Structure 1
Amino acid sequence: MGDSHSIVSQIGDLAQSGEKMIERLRRKAFLPDSRKGLNVRFGIAEAAQLLGCSTNRIRMAEDDGRLPAAPAGENGRRIGYNVDELLHMREVLDALPHRGPDDVPSMIAVQNFKGGVGKSTVTTHLAHYFAVQGYRVLVVDCDSQATTTTLFGFNPHFNISREETLYPYLSIDPTQADLLYAVKNTPWPNVDLIPSNLELFDVEYELAAAGADGSSILAARFRKLKQGLMDLARNYDVVILDPPPALGTISLAVMQAANALLVPMAATTPDFCSTVQFLNMMDQVIAQLVEAGIEIDYNFVRLICSKFDANDPSHTMLRAIMEQTFGAALLPVPILESAEISHAALRMMTVYELEKPIGTPRTHKRCKANLDEAMGQIEQLVRAGWGRVEPSSEEEVLHAPA
């Protein structure tokens, strides 16, 4: 008996040495204060493409003083614009993609109960994609595993206390009346984060215990999360929710607070089967929630294939099966498996944060182009929800059938 106890006590030792190693990695990856800096820059051609204008228009605005002179390095050559400068440029040249005052903020839950599908990777890349495009973004980490919080440069164990998560707002004895207390700045000037840590899981216990006396407490909590997020969302265009990968109370509250659902899935048979199970469960649960008087309504529900390797025949076969099964609900462009994404994750970054390629420039370029296209599909859905149809490019207009 003593033996098995000592084996179990190893778990604590493993956790402790793991935490120490995370700190070492963090010190290597981050600045001394354990907050990441954002050093990514955009050349004038890329800036013009992002703003949908000509490089000439940017140069003219710099010449006539509407924009500051282009930043230059020590040798006098242009060094490209940082994200702050890019946002200022959007403001001056009237190229901010913000929603209109009557448009409802898009609140996207990124959910699948299967682990390892890249849920947090999709969440953070989506947030940074929207940031580069000039949107105001709020990311809400609702998962006590806190991977998204970590990817944003916070250590959930050392930097984040329970009082800084959703806990004080959602607990049975709440100490906060709104969610403003939890919003943190990130290295991105137009992305904020509500972080998470392991103690957020206490909410599950509390609500499960309270729910045993009847579901009215749960229903009130569900409405409370939605209300709190809607109040906060007034200052944002897009809110991205990362729920726990399990059918618990928090997960259900998040699914109810969202107005769009994105389901990432990897191209393997077990992932396909478990995603079908997830959709089945969601269907049943939504029916029960509606019966209990809790509304759920989505502007869009889409599946996205993540970690797709075009050179793997089994991936290609499964992708065909997904297309046949899910039809138009499956986004046409998958997120390709790329060493660049894994290399960036090792540094606790997304590809959008890299100053320069980690692998070959070609790999980096291909990966970024794919991410832009994959995430751009979601941006189009968000804009369609606001009644914005993207203007056709000149090319399309010229070659359109009469």
Structure 2
Amino acid sequence: MFQTAPIEASSQSELTRQMAARLHTALTTHLQQAYAPDQRKNLRLFSATETAELLGVTGQFLRKCHSEGTLPEPEVIRNGRRFYSGKEMLQIRHLLEASSRTSGKYVPGRRDGDKLQVIQLMNFKGGSAKSTSAIHLCHFLALHGYRVLAIDLDPQGSLTGFCGIQTELEFDGASIYDALRYEDPVPMSDAIVETYFPGLHLAPAQLVLSEFETETAINAGKGVAFFEKLNHAIQSVESNYDVVIIDSPPALGFLTLTGLYAATSVIVPMTPSMLDLASTQQFVEMTSAYLGVIEDTGVELNHDFFSFLITRDDPGDIPSQQIVSLMRALFQDRVVSATSLRSTAVADASMLKMSIYEVSRSEMTRSTYDRARTSVDSVGVEIGQMIQLAWGR
């Protein structure tokens, strides 16, 4: 039972300490209930229809492969219906790729000569759905056969929570801070953990990551330039991944800038409102100034794409659609054609630190789920095409 009595404190520090303690108790209780009994997330099973769609084949083709024995049967079969785990889907994808005459049809990741794609999602306006966009992109790419590394550069750790690591409860492993810190940094490989989601690894964040900002100011001019630190860390593990997704903090500080330097591409999520438009304008202007400072050191920065992503889009809201039209008129192909719709399905899933891909269609109104899933898929498909284009395909 949560404490509901008024807080009595003799000082402001004691007041805030008690507030933090109550919030910690409530959050811990919620997470323990959400992830009971072992406090670990597990990916749901996928129906044969959904699996076929994700693999890009027909249900008839999938059944034929099983009957011929070219694909193994899934572990779970209920009433004659097959259900696939994420791991089984990934295994099937690789088996189909091995027998396909078209390279990359089922496993669309890097080939010899392709550079690692590092995509940073950034905006200093809170509420832009940055972390939500990041986890949906991670899950979409992983489900479609890419080897994905998520890097959480936000000390608040939202992406880390989405990936099933609850630092509020217990986490004693290395984090991205340990790989970036100035004193005795650990190898990047030590700061990466596998997630419950096949194909997705994570470099998690903890609150201590905020120390990077202070340490950078203290160590200015000493050793490796601060903006090179993340790039060096990523390069040490780059052969293990096709795509890296960076979720940066809602601020234009040293953490965001080291991510920006490491990135091969940038996506700026923004909601279609006049306040967000004004904030984004200031953000882009400041980004330009900071990039100029980095370039003045002799560094050449080239991003494969620098694009805006409209989030929480409501096609029925006329003022917001005017903002969307303005953005498209101003930046043409630098605005992702697909938009991430405002959806109660996505919002409800996010409250449980889940993406729409982790929610079964049967758990909510089907039309609401389908609308949200179609929107998220469309964004993923388009960004996937942008990645392929960067590889010259």
Structure 2: how far apart are the matches of 1:108 and 1:58?
Answer: 33
Q: Which of 249, 252, 255 is 1:247 aligned to?
A: 252
Q: State which of 13, 21, 36 in structure 2 corresponds to 1:16.
A: 21
* Contact 1:137–1:240 (8 Å) recurs in 2: yes
Map 1:199-348 to 2 at 5 A: 199-211=208-220, 215-217=221-223, 220-348=225-353
| Residues paired across the two proteins, number | 378
What does residue 53 of structure 2 align with?
A: 49
User: Which amino acid is the alignment partner of residue 309 of structure 2?
Assistant: I
Q: One-letter code of the match for 2:211?
A: D
Q: Partner residue of 1:105?
A: 116
Counterpart of 2:190 in structure 1 is 181
Q: Distance in 1 between matches of 2:91 and 2:110?
A: 17
| 2:161 matches 1:150 | yes
Q: Is the 8 A contact 1:70 1:78 kept in 2?
A: no
- Change in CA separation of 1:232 and 1:78 when aligned onto 2, cut-off 3 Å: same
Q: What one-letter code is carried by the residue in structure 2 that aligns with 1:262? A: I
- Structure 2: which amino acid aligns with 1:166? I
Match of 2:202, SS state, is: strand
CA shift for structure 1 position 254: 0.7
Q: Secondary structure at the match of 1:93?
A: helix
Q: Unpaired runs of 5+ in structure 1?
A: 389-402
Shift of the alpha carbon at 1:156?
Answer: 2.1
Q: Deviations over 1:17-64 (max 9, x none)?
A: 111111111122113222101113132x33333223333332232122
The CA deviation string for residues 177-199 of structure 1, in whole angstroms up to 9 with x for no partner, is x2000111111111000100111
- For 1:19-38, list aligned pairs within 5 A: 19-38=24-43
- Rate the CA distance shift 1:216–1:357 in 2: closer, same or farther, 3 A: farther
User: Which of 64, 82, 85 is the matching residue for 2:85?
Assistant: 82
Distance in 2 (CA, whole Å) between partners of 1:79 and 1:334 is 33
What SS is found at the alignment partner of 1:234? helix
SS in 1 for 2:345: helix
Deviation at residue 157 of structure 1 after TM alignment = 3.0
Query: Does residue 1:7 correspond to 2:17, yes or no?
Result: no
Q: CA deviation at 1:225?
A: 1.7
CA distance in 2, matches of 1:279, 1:49: 38
RMSD: 1.9
What corresponds to 2:66 in structure 1? 62
Unpaired segments of 5 or more residues in structure 2? Answer: 1-7, 98-105
Aligned equivalents of 1:281, 1:216: Cα separation in 2 = 25
- Corresponding residue for residue 365 of structure 2: 360
Correspondence for 2:178 = 168
Q: Could you list the per-position Cα deviations for residues 371-402 of structure 1 after superposition, in whole angstroms to 9, with x for gaps in the alignment?
A: 100121111100111112xxxxxxxxxxxxxx
- The CA deviation at 1:171 is 1.7
Letter in 2 for 1:354: V
Q: Bigger shift: 132-141 or 324-333?
A: 324-333
| Other structure's SS at 1:340 match | helix
Equivalent position amino acid for 1:360 in 2: T
Q: Distance in 2 between matches of 1:195 and 1:160?
A: 10
Bigger shift: residues 127-136 or 77-86: 77-86
Q: Which residue of 1 aligns with 2:385?
A: 380
Matched-pair contact (CA < 8 Å) for 2:74–2:88: no
- 1:100 alignment partner AA: R
